[in-house]
Amino acid sequence: MRLIFIILLVAASAFAAERTVLFEDHTNAQCGPCWTMEPQINAFVDAHLAAGDLAVLRTHAWWPGNDPIYNANPTEQKSRIEFYNISGVPSLKMDGILPASGTNLEARFDIRAATACYLNIEVSKSGTDEDGTIYIALTAEQQLTTQIIKLQAILVEDEVPGTGYWSGSVFEQAFRDNIVSTNGEVIDFGETYPSTIYFEYPYSTSGFVEENMSLVVFVQNASNKEVYNADYQSVSDIPTNTGIESSSTAELTISATPSPSSGTFYVAHSGSENTRCSLSLFDLSGRLLEKAAVSGTQTQFSVSNPGIYLIVMNSEDGRTASRRIVITR
């Protein structure tokens, strides 16, 4: 629940972000109409999860009957249902604002998928599939709203043995734990855009089947309920974060200018005079983009895509230093 830092970028946005639609299914194990609608919902969900353009959250209600998923986390699920003032299940929503049914899922999805998106979400982790820290980077290309918006990050589980109408079947994308807080965290991008904000939260899948766990991340308007964008990944598939904090050790230092940069920047370094050193450039997910041997007092790099990158300098004698660089357009 800790905001790491805020970077306000002064360059103008050149493109809209890619939208992932949030689909929410409010359900209950003892709800006959919910079970009747399950085949249509599953077919829709499976197709779009495979396409990578959908995030799925199935919140269980405390009525019309006993439900083990709800009982496992009643406080957070009740808060989610009361947020929408839901009084009956099934209740289906696309991006919080479009009600849906088993017969119009694709049409409702298409409306939201075609809506321009100006929020990019990047998720990475440190730790294991069982526990660690989730890092979330949110970049707003322009002002999303003047109303309060909140960040949510919720763990869901697939293939949970069913009860009630689901007896002999399984619950999919079942609500397990909101790793942010019951009501989410208020976020503020400031007044200059594009703007990037970073958050980190501890997580644990202990007590659940690790390989069946996924994380749903989304940003939502607290008043009109609109979801501005979402992200959905299996916990095991969330990329490992190599670290976004700057550091130096034993007089091995680096700096990057200009920052923000429009693409080309220079890394100045010192402390490498008596040993061989290398510079590595990583994206936020930890993917190595470029590696160069250190020569002279500075090294040039060029990056095409806007975002936050990490420069790491390693010496042959085991010293290391790192520095962030912001790329804008």
Mean pLDDT of 185-209: 88
Q: Which long-range contacts (CB under 8 A, 24 or more apart) does 303-308 make?
A: 303/261, 303/263, 303/265, 303/327, 304/263, 306/11, 306/194, 307/122, 307/139, 307/283, 308/7, 308/137, 308/196, 308/244, 308/284
Q: Is the pLDDT of residue 298 over 80?
A: yes
Q: Judge if pTM exceeds 0.95.
A: no
Mean pLDDT of 42-61: 98
For residue 251, the model assigns a pLDDT of 67
User: Do the Cβ atoms of 154 and 160 come closer than 8 Å?
Assistant: no
Q: Is the pLDDT of residue 226 over 90?
A: yes
Q: What is the pLDDT of residues 271-290, one digit of tens each?
A: 777 778 889 998 877 788 99
∠ CA 109-112-115 to the nearest 5 degrees? 150
Q: Give the closest residue to 310 by CA, choosing from 329, 297, 294, 291.
A: 291
User: Do the Cβ atoms of 196 and 137 come closer than 8 Å?
Assistant: yes
Q: What is the pLDDT of residues 1-34, one digit of tens each?
A: 444 333 333 333 344 689 999 999 999 999 999 9
Mean pLDDT of 64-80: 98
Confidence band for 244, pLDDT divided at 50, 70 and 90: very low
What CATH number does the domain located at 2-237 have? 2.60.40.10
Of the given ranges (102-116, 153-167, 173-187, 235-249), which has the lowest mean pLDDT? 235-249
Mean pLDDT of 155-166: 98
For residue 250, the model assigns a pLDDT of 52
Q: Is the pLDDT of residue 259 over 80?
A: no
Q: Is the pLDDT of residue 63 over 60?
A: yes
The CATH number of 247-327, from 2.60.40.1930, 3.40.50.300, 3.40.50.12280, 3.30.499.10, is 2.60.40.1930
Domain residue spans of the chain: 2-237, 247-327
Q: What is the C-alpha to C-alpha distance for residues 64 and 31, in angstroms, rounded to an integer?
A: 6
Which residues are 230's β-sheet partners?
Answer: 218
